[in-house]
Amino acid sequence: MAFTLAFDVYGTLINTHGVVTALQDMVGERAQLFSQTWRDKQLEYTFRRGLMGQYEHFGICTAQALDYTCAHLNEQLTDTQKQQLMANYSTLPAFDDVHAGLLELQKAGHRLFAFSNGVPDGIEAVLKNAGIRDLFDGVVSVDPIRSFKPNPVVYQHFLDSTGSNSDSAWLVSSNPFDVIGAVTVGMRAAWVQRSSASIYDPWGVPPTFTIEGLQALPQQLELQK
């Protein structure tokens, strides 16, 4: 049986910490801390906007989280530096295991979709620049729903947009909140734990299985048919 696979983009296919190199020139040794704070705040803003019904594009959440991070860490970046960091967001790299893993899944006959908080143009650009856009059947953004993961409605939007259902569709994500969101609406979900430093939320809602990278996914899915 072929499955419909929803791949989370930022943090799963694409390494958001690809900005660290550019940040090293701007904030030196605090580049890693800056990147992590920026990413955490970006996600927090999506959660809060979703909860409050105050939707703004993911790019706005990212830009406002960047301003917050500068203030929080007392780093005075110029407007040009901030624009450079925002531009980097569309040229972030894919993780090393992604291209080969997607290719094998495509060959196995699965339908592959990118499924993200990003707006369609942003998702298209980052996938294209990372050299993996052609491996997908399509892109599904939360934007038409005007909310963010893990609102249950956006997972239903994925199923509706791809003509799939919770028996045939899987979420593949490194973000535990995303996995829990999908499992809660009845989808199956693979958690991609690339590092032991990545901790799963102890909510009693486990992933269907855990893998260390996409190379393990084809075989794991084979066992689920």
Candidates 5-13, 47-55, 69-77, 210-218; binding stretch for ligand LAC (CB under 6 A):
5-13
206: left (phi over 0), alpha (psi -120 to 50) or beta: beta
Lay out the site mask for ligand LAC across 114-153 (x = CB under 6 A, - = otherwise).
Answer: --xxx------------------------------x----
Helices and strands per DSSP (H, E), number in the chain = 9, 6
Q: How many residues does the chain have?
A: 225
**Residue 178 sits in the site that holds ligand LAC (CB under 6 A):** yes
User: In Å, how far are 77, 116, 126, 137, 186 from 37, measured between CA atoms?
Assistant: 15, 20, 21, 33, 32
- Shortest Å, Cβ 13 to ligand LAC: 8
Pick the catalytic residue: 8, 97, 143, 178? 8
Query: Could you say whether residue 174 binds ligand LAC (CB under 6 A)?
Result: no
Least Cβ distance, residue 63 to ligand LAC (angstroms): 15
Q: CA of 197: how far to CAs of 98, 193, 200, in Å?
A: 20, 9, 10
Q: How many residues bind ligand LAC (CB under 6 A)?
A: 10
| Element holding 178 (H helix, E strand) | helix 176-184
Residue 40 a catalytic site member:
no
Q: Which residues bind ligand LAC (CB under 6 A)?
A: 8-11, 116-118, 149, 175, 178
Q: Which residues are catalytic?
A: 8
